Amino acid sequence: MLDVTVIEDAAAAAVSLDPMRARLLAELTAGPASATMLAGRVGLPRQKVNYHLKTLERHGLVELAGERRKGNVTERLMRATAASYVISPIALAAVQPDPGRFRDQLSARWLLSVAARLVRDVGTLITGAAKARKGLATYALDGEVRFGSAADRAAFVEELTRGVGALIAKYHDEHAESGRDHRIVVALHPTVKPAGSVTSGGTGPATVEQVSAVERAPATEQVSAVERVPTVERAP
Taking only the tens place, the pLDDT of each residue in 163-214 is 999 999 999 999 998 898 999 999 999 988 877 665 554 444 444 443 333 3
Check whether the bond before 226 is cis (ω within 30° of 0): yes
Strand partners of residue 64: 78
Q: Tens digits of per-residue pLDDT, 173-183?
A: 999 988 989 99
**Prediction pTM value:** 0.74
C-alpha span between 39 and 41 (Å, rounded) = 5
Please report the pLDDT score of residue 58 as a whole number.
Answer: 96
